[in-house]
Amino acid sequence: MQIYENQDKNILNDYSENSLELNNSNTAEESKNLSLSGTKKKNKDISYNDELRRKLIHLFSLNISLVYIQIDKWTAFWLMLLIAVITVSIDVLSKKVEPVQKFFYKYFGSILRKHERKKKKFRLNGASWLVISATLTILIFPKLFACVALSILIVSDIASALIGRKWGRTPIFKKKTIEGSAAFFITAAATVVVYFLTFHLNNYFLLYGLIAALFTTFGEAISKMIKVDDNLIVPIFFAGFLWIVELILNTYNLTMLTALI
Q: Which residue has the higher pLDDT, 134 or 7?
A: 134
pLDDT, tens digit, for every residue of 60-92?
A: 999 999 999 999 999 999 999 999 999 999 888
Contact 133, 87 (CB under 8 A): no
Give the pLDDT band (50/70/90) at residue 22.
Answer: very low
Which residues on adjacent β-strands are paired with residue 176? 172
Which residues on adjacent β-strands are paired with residue 171? 177
| Cα pseudo-dihedral 8, 9, 12, 16, rounded to 10 | -170
pLDDT, tens digit, for every residue of 140-176?
A: 999 999 999 999 999 999 999 999 989 998 999 878 9
pLDDT, tens digit, for every residue of 207-257?
A: 999 999 999 999 999 998 888 999 999 999 999 999 999 999 999 999 999
Domain boundaries, the chain: 1-43, 45-250
CB 89: neighbour CB atoms within 10 A? 12
Contact 261, 199 (CB under 8 A): yes
Q: What is the mean pLDDT of residues 20-28?
A: 45
Averaged confidence pLDDT in the chain: 83
Give the pLDDT band (50/70/90) at residue 198.
Answer: very high
Contact 61, 137 (CB under 8 A): no
Q: Would you call 254 helix, strand, or coil by DSSP?
A: coil
Nearest to 201 by CA among 151, 244, 146, 255: 255
